[in-house]
Structure 1
Amino acid sequence: MIWLKKQFQPVDNAPLVLFRIVFGFLIFAESFGAIMTGWVRRVFIEPEFTFTLIGFNWLQPPDDNYSMYIYFGLMATCGIGVMLGLYYRASLATFTLLWTCVYWMQKSSYNNHYYFLILLCLFMLVVPAHAYASLDAKRKNAVISTTCPRWCINIFIFQMWIVYTFAAIHKFYPGWVSGEFIAMNFASKTDYWLIGNALGQEWLQKAVVYGGIVFDGLIVYFLLFKKTRVPAFIISIVFHLFNSFVFQIGIFPYLMIGLAVFFFEPESVRRIFFKSKPIVNYDEFPLPKLGSRSLATCFVMIVYFSFQFYLPLRHHLYKGDVFYTEEGHRLAWRMMLRYKSGNVKYNITSSDSTWVVKPRDFLTRKQSSAMPGKPDMVWQFAQYLDKKYKKEGFGDVEVRAEGYARLNGEPIYKLVDETVDLSAIRWQSLKHADWILTPDK
């Protein structure tokens, strides 16, 4: 019980305040950068149809050419509000809602890091990160605080441990350990400035393979201990900057660097970044009693983190290999583990005719290249075609898919059962779909 009581004991909130500033800047950079790099145009404006989260088909981007720019511009503005602590909760709540919709709105550019950003937004909504060094704190009658409960720091550390630990566990599969995925990935990057030649070398590829497992598996522990904290932080910076440059994965590497602030002593963070901030005297805060509100907070955290353990392990409940079926792949910290390629075509049968549809005739290049190997997207496009042809007066049609895919450099395999009318199949999120095929081994 003493450990539990300590989670509600006040500590200096300097790490939380500093992370709020970093976090706000990064979500501004993510939103504004999506506009400037053309990501918004390619993902939301050019496609005629987007692959939403299943069940959210209504969440399609507007048909015009400007609304999504305004949408992301609003998110960028919210990021500035978070950074400055200006209408902090309203700014963050608005960004969280808009970003969650972005995440649900498309899967062609799916990234575990986008999901991680939602989790961090939820954390930042419940912690008092704007209680000091913010424009909100300068308002008349504002509640200013130099402390926060210890759990406001520890939830970030525990979430990082979950991300890193499962990322390390998932790397123990032949495609990663053999270096096959890394070799394929680096093969297209040998023209990179300065390190392009090194990326093609086997020694660096092996260093990335085994170094990735070691880093993900141990970095949190080294950051927790004072004697290894600074060297581990320096290694973390190098590791994430390398990932940022080579893999080009947006703000995620910088988020992970920023989150490291929670491992440092709050007093050290205060002394370096907030020199005028009053010193917190911890002797003034005895262990608090656990009231109903504290117990309710504990219950919510237990439920939340239990779910965080379930998601990366849930693929074991499905029949078949997750690398082929994709069932249980998302939300599981299965990051940068495989390449999947292939081709899909659809055989449409109406009451009086039969014809073939190639996805490339309806989808963008990015969408059509993302679909092979992802059965849920194959099913979603079949549903789209079914509705499209019914609307055009073809009546009830049958939509069957012929799909083949390849995992990394393995032999090509049949992706779906071409005898099944996908337009008549309902998606079952918690059950294996028998029409999804896997190679015989």
Structure 2
Amino acid sequence: MTAFLFKRIDNAPLIVFRVLFGLLIFLESVGAIFTGWIKRTLIQPEFTFNFIGFDWLQPLPGNWMYVYYAVMGVFGLFVMIGFKYRWSMAAFTLMWTATYLMQKASYNNHYYLLILICLLMLVLPANRYLSVDAKQNENIRDISMPGWCSVIIILQVGIVYTFASVAKLYPDWLNYTVVENLMLGRKNYPVVGGFLQQHWVHVFITWAGILFDGLVVPLLLWKPTRKIAFLASVVFHLFNSFVFQIGIFPYMSLGFTLFFFEPRTVRNIFLKRKPLYTAGEVKVPGYKNLILWVGAVYFLIQLALPLRHWFIPGDVLWTEEAHRMSWRMMLRSKGGYIHFKVVDKQNGKAELVYPKDRLSPKQRRIVATKPDVIWQFAQRLKKEYAAEGKDVAVYAIGKVSVNRRPSHTFIDPETDLAAEKWDPYRHSTWILPEPERKTQLSSPDEEKGNSQENKP
């Protein structure tokens, strides 16, 4: 194992990936500015729903979040050209993680993946060639790297794909309901909208999703199937980019394939002027044990997080508990409506609070379906009324539909959420059990009725 992990190999895959990665995080940063994402998500809302425990992380006032993202873009360019690489990578990682934690209305598993890749890139010697750092300091210039540099990227990618594949093995995915719902939202796409509504397309996407996620890593690792797996990756990720419009992440995923090819191949295609390293020396550093222990702990955490929902009662598709950071991507559609009843404990007077009067459209969607956000909004109402000298109880009243099935009451309407504590490691008993699933789907009229905007 030591010889495998610490054998020196040509570093062309890492160098090329660094250039691509820096470009992509630059585009992600400036794209958030020019597409209006920052305005919709961080500026226009009255407040944001932070990850619980990070309430102190708030968007900068006024238009300063535009500056914040512009600075992140600059750090992305610095990563791309390898200028002050460690500092630039650390700064981007810190700033990106902060924006991830300060809002949940635009949560995406890929945002979390970007944090992890940033952390890995932070420890990798990605600036040893084709970088400003290496040009300014010949002492760091190198054409090789230890084998573990490729291994950790491959392991991380393997974990993501494997859990994504396994998560799809449930009835609503296997009977094509999930894909049908996903494609229904794309029916107005020009040219391909009608094509995406075909049943055979849903069948193909359903099984292609399971098989691709489950097999792409081993097929990329095996040389006889590597080119076929790469071509499948190109088709898969370009399809996702076009249909789901998920930013840089399909292209970052294609970038991961660099680590599966022979370094010689990557060097011959992208870095023809770079000397090819072939010595294959085994250099074991004095801090070998530190690398092994840190790596072991990191990947044990990566394995544990997607499994933690099995130790919490209830179906994660319904309760949402332990859903995040577990690679459960595009597994269900969920909609609902909700309002809150605020009762003054002193005089018993009640009033209703409707999210549509306080929240942005994206926030309204998550406050109706995410129990942690429901709890956070109840806590916010409690504080607001306390500032007026009132001690109140807060009750949530609403229903949720999963995969266009009939709506059911989600939160116990008799529980005072203002008095509840949040425990991320245990089931919240005020989340009502999911009723037995039936095959009937909601009609379009019922779906319209489930929309939050159509409730009083």
The SS at the match of 1:420 is: coil
Aligned residue pair count: 434
Q: CA deviation at 1:182?
A: 1.2
Provide the rounded CA distance (Å) in 2 between the counterparts of 1:16 and 1:281: 16
CA deviation map 1:29-79 (0-9, x unaligned):
111001110000000001001110001112121331x11000110111110
Q: After superposition, where does 1:210-249 map in structure 2 within 5 Å?
A: 210-249=207-246
Match of 1:114 in 2: 111
Q: Which residue is equivalent to 1:252?
A: 249
Q: What's 2:315 paired with?
A: 321
User: Which of 100, 119, 135 is the matching residue for 1:103?
Assistant: 100
Q: After TM superposition, give the deviation of residue 141 of structure 1 in Å.
A: 4.8
Structure 1 partner of 2:399: 404
Q: CA deviation at 1:418?
A: 1.2
User: Counterparts in 2 of 1:342-421, with a 5 A limit?
Assistant: 342-350=336-344, 351-352=346-347, 353-391=349-387, 393-421=388-416
Whole-angstrom CA distance in 2 between matches of 1:4 and 1:200: 52
Which residue type is aligned with residue 106 of structure 2? Answer: S
TM-score, normalization by structure 2: 0.93
- Distance in 2 of aligned mates of 1:229 and 1:162: 19
Once residues 208 and 199 of structure 1 are traced to their aligned partners in structure 2, the CA distance between those partners, rounded to angstroms, is 10
CA contact 2:8–2:283 (8 Å) conserved in 1:
no
Question: What SS does the aligned partner of 1:242 have?
Answer: helix
Q: Is 1:176 matched up with 2:163?
A: no
> 1:21, CA displacement in angstroms?
0.3
Identity %: 47
Q: Report the AA paired with residue 36 of structure 1.
A: F
Q: Deviations over 1:206-248 (max 9, x none)?
A: 1000110000000011101111111110110011000110011
Note if contact 2:398-2:411 (Cα within 8 Å) is conserved in structure 1. Answer: yes
Equivalent of residue 9 in structure 2, options 8, 11, 31: 11
The alpha-carbon deviation at position 189 of structure 1 amounts to 1.2
**Which amino acid is the alignment partner of residue 435 of structure 2?**
D
Report if the CA contact (8 A) 1:190-1:200 is conserved: yes
- TM-score of the two chains, using structure 1 as the length reference: 0.96
Report the counterpart of residue 128 of structure 1 in structure 2.
125
Unmatched 5+ stretches in structure 1: none
Residue 143 of structure 2, aligned match among 142, 146, 161: 146
Letter in 1 for 2:248: I
User: How big is the shift at 1:412?
Assistant: 1.1
Contact 1:414–1:438 under 8 Å retained in 2:
no
> What does residue range 325-344 of structure 1 map to in structure 2 within 5 Å?
325-344=319-338
SS at match of 1:282: coil
Contact 1:413 1:438 in 2 (8 A): no
SS at match of 2:26: helix
Please give the alpha-carbon distance, in whole angstroms, between the structure 1 residues aligned to 2:221 and 2:134: 31
Task: Work out the CA distance in 1 between the residues paired with 2:350 and 2:389.
Answer: 11
Q: Distance in 2 between matches of 1:154 and 1:231?
A: 21
Residue 261 of structure 2 aligns with which residue? 264
1:403 is displaced (CA, Å) by 2.2
Name the CA distance, whole Å, in 2 between partners of 1:159 and 1:193. 36
C-alpha distance in 2 between matches for 1:143 and 1:211: 44
Larger displacement relative to structure 2 (300-309 or 140-149): 140-149
Match of residue 42, structure 2, among 14, 30, 44? 44
Which stretch has the larger CA shift, 368-377 or 123-132? 368-377
CA distance in 1, matches of 2:194, 2:413: 44
Which AA in structure 1 matches 2:107?
Answer: Y
SS of 1:118's equivalent in the other structure is helix
How many Å apart are 1:114 and its aligned residue?
0.2
Instruction: Tell me, in whole angstroms, the C-alpha distance in 2 between the residues paired with 1:365 and 1:437.
Output: 25
Partner of 2:72: 75
AA at the equivalent of 1:308: Q
Letter in 1 for 2:398: G
- From 269, 274, 278, give the equivalent of 1:277: 274
Report the CA distance between 1:424 and its aligned residue: 1.2
Matched position secondary structure for 2:287:
helix
Shift of 1:142: 4.3
Moved more, 37-46 or 223-232: 223-232
User: Is the partner of 2:194 in helix, strand or coil?
Assistant: helix
**Structure 1 residues 268 and 140, CA, compared in 2 at 3 Å: closer, same or farther?**
same
Q: Secondary structure at the match of 2:369?
A: coil
